[in-house]
C-alpha cells in the first residue's frame, strides 16, 4: 500500500531550486514530503500528481511571479484551499491571485535555508498543527466509512452426556460496549473490563440492541435565536464534528469558529462534547470547557458567536 504524504509542494518549474530547498528542510523537520521530483520513469505524471495532492495532509504553495501565472499551481492551490489543507508561502514578491489575498501566507522571500529563522520556525509549527488536524479528520472519516462485519459464533459441538451430576455453572456476563467514533489521536472511550470474579477475557463487542439509536427519540442540536424556522442538526451514531469548513459534519460560517472546533458524541449512555484545541474555546452553559464534558438535554453549546441547544425530539411512530 502506498504511503500518503504529509506535505505536497506546489510550485512553478522555474522555482525548482527553492522548491528543493523547502523539500529538503521540511524532510529534516520530520515530514513525509512529496514533490514532482519524486516521479518515477513510466508513471503518468498528471495522475500521480493529483493522487498525491489529494492524499497530502497539507499543501505548501510557493507563490512567486512565475507560480501566480501557472494554471497548474492555481488549480492545486484552489483544491487545497477547498479541502482546508492550504499552507502558502511567498518566496518572491508578487501579487497573489485575488481569491488567496485573504489567506494567511508566510512571508519567506528572505529565507535561504536557515533553520533557526523565526519566520521559518513559525511556518513549521503551523504545518505540524495542520498535518495533525487533518490526520485526525482522516482517521475519523475512515472509522465512519469502514463497516466491520462480526461473524456469527460457530455452533458448539454436541457434548456426550455425563452420568455424574455436576453443579450448575453460571453464564459469563457480557457487558455491551458502545463503540462509537474512534481516533488514535483523540481517544474518547475506555474498554469496560469484566468483573474480577469473571474469568472471561474475551473481547466484548457493541450490541446494537443497546444502542441509543434503536430508540425512537432523536438527539439534536438546534440553533438558538433564529425563531421557529431554526436549523437543527441530528447527533448520529458516530456523533458530529462542528467547525468552520469541511470535513466538519456541521459547518457554521463564523470567523471565530476554528476549522475543526469541537466534537459531540455518545459515550457511556450520555451525550458529551470535546473541544478540539479550538482558538476561541467551546462553552457549555456559558462555562468554557476543558477536555470532554457532559452535554445534558437542555444545555446550551456555544462555539464562536453561535449557540445551539441540546434537545430530544418526540418519539416517531413506528411504521
* Distance (Å, whole) CA 4 – CA 55: 6
Q: Report in angstroms the alpha-carbon separations of 222 from 117, 200, 225, 275, 295.
A: 47, 43, 10, 19, 13
| Cβ neighbours for 49, distance < 8 A, ≥ 6 positions apart | 36, 39
Q: Find the mean pLDDT for residues 225-238.
A: 78
C-alpha cell, 216: 425512537
Q: Which three cell numbers stand for residue 257?
A: 469558529
Q: Can you give the CATH number for the domain in which 75 is found?
A: 3.40.50.10140
C-alpha distances out from residue 134 to 138, 185, 271, Å = 6, 11, 24
Number of domains comprising the chain = 2
The average pLDDT across 139-153 equals 52
Average pLDDT of span 78-85? 89
Range with lowest mean pLDDT among 170-174, 212-216, 246-250, 262-266: 170-174
pTM here is: 0.45
Question: What 3-state class would DSSP assign to 251?
Answer: strand
Is residue 281 within 8 A of residue 300, CB to CB? The reply is: no
Q: Cell numbers at residue 204, please?
A: 466484548
Highest mean pLDDT among 94-103, 199-208, 281-290: 281-290
Residue 261 confidence (pLDDT): 95
**Same structural domain for residues 16 and 129?**
yes
Distance CA 315, CA 212 (A): 13
In a domain, 206, yes or no: no
End residue of a domain, out of 147, 163, 191: 147
Identify the pLDDT of residue 126: 93
Report if residue 204 sits inside a domain: no
**Between 197 and 221, residue with greater pLDDT:** 221
Asked if 61 contacts 77 with a C-beta cutoff of 8 angstroms, the reply is yes
DSSP assignment, residue 3?
P
**C-beta of residue 161 within 8 angstroms of C-beta of residue 191:** no
Q: In what order do the strands lie in the sheet with 232-234?
A: 232-234, 218-223, 306-313, 300-303, 282-284, 287-288
Q: 233: which 3 cell numbers?
A: 442538526
Looking at mean pLDDT, say which of 33-37, 131-135, 273-277 comes out highest: 273-277
Same domain, 135 and 17: yes
* Domain boundaries, position 79: 7-147
Where among 119, 147, 175 does a domain terminate? 147
Q: CB–CB of 26/126 below 8 Å?
A: no
- Does a structural domain hold residue 236? yes
Please identify, among 97, 117, 147, the residue that sits at the C-terminal boundary of a domain.
147
Considering only 23-32, 51-60, 112-121, 144-153, which range has the smallest mean pLDDT?
144-153
Q: Residue 168 pLDDT > 60, yes or no? A: no
What is the CATH number for 255?
2.60.200.20
pLDDT, averaged across the chain = 77
In a domain, 155, yes or no: no
What lies within 8 Å, CB to CB, of 240 at 6+ separation is 221, 233, 234, 249, 250, 263, 264, 265
The pLDDT value recorded for residue 102 is 83
Query: Is the same domain home to 141 and 51?
Result: yes
Both 46 and 139 in one domain: the answer is: yes
Amino acid at each position: 500500500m502506498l504511503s500518503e504524504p504529509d506535505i505536497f509542494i506546489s510550485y512553478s518549474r522555474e522555482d525548482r531550486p527553492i522548491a528543493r530547498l523547502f523539500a529538503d528542510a521540511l524532510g529534516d523537520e520530520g515530514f513525509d514530503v512529496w514533490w514532482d521530483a519524486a516521479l518515477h520513469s513510466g508513471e503518468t505524471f498528471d495522475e500521480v500528481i493529483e493522487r498525491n495532492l489529494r492524499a497530502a495532509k497539507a499543501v505548501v504553495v510557493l507563490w512567486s511571479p512565475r507560480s501566480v501565472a501557472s494554471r497548474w499551481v492555481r488549480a492545486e492551490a484552489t483544491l487545497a484551499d477547498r479541502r482546508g489543507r492550504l499552507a502558502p508561502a511567498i518566496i518572491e514578491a508578487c501579487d497573489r491571485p485575488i481569491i488567496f489575498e485573504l489567506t494567511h501566507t508566510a512571508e519567506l522571500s528572505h529565507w535561504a535555508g536557515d533553520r533557526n529563522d523565526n519566520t521559518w520556525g513559525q511556518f513549521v509549527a503551523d504545518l505540524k498543527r495542520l498535518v495533525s488536524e487533518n490526520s485526525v479528520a482522516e482517521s475519523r472519516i475512515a472509522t465512519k466509512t469502514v463497516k466491520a462485519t462480526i461473524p456469527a459464533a460457530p455452533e458448539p459441538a454436541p457434548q456426550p452426556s455425563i452420568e455424574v451430576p455436576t453443579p450448575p455453572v453460571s453464564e459469563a456476563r457480557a457487558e455491551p460496549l458502545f463503540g462509537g467514533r474512534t481516533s488514535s489521536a483523540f481517544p474518547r472511550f475506555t474498554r469496560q473490563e469484566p468483573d474480577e470474579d469473571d474469568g472471561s477475557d474475551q473481547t466484548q463487542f457493541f450490541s446494537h440492541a443497546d444502542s441509543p439509536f434503536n430508540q425512537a427519540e432523536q438527539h439534536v442540536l438546534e440553533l438558538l435565536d433564529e425563531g421557529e424556522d431554526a436549523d437543527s442538526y441530528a447527533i448520529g451514531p458516530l456523533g458530529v464534528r462542528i467547525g468552520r469548513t469541511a470535513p466538519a459534519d456541521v459547518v457554521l460560517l463564523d470567523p471565530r469558529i476554528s476549522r475543526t472546533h469541537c466534537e459531540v458524541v455518545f459515550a457511556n449512555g450520555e451525550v458529551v462534547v470535546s473541544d478540539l484545541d479550538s482558538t476561541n474555546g467551546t462553552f457549555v452553559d456559558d462555562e468554557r470547557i476543558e477536555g470532554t464534558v457532559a452535554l445534558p438535554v437542555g444545555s446550551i453549546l456555544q462555539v464562536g458567536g453561535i449557540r445551539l441547544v441540546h434537545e430530544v425530539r418526540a418519539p416517531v411512530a413506528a411504521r
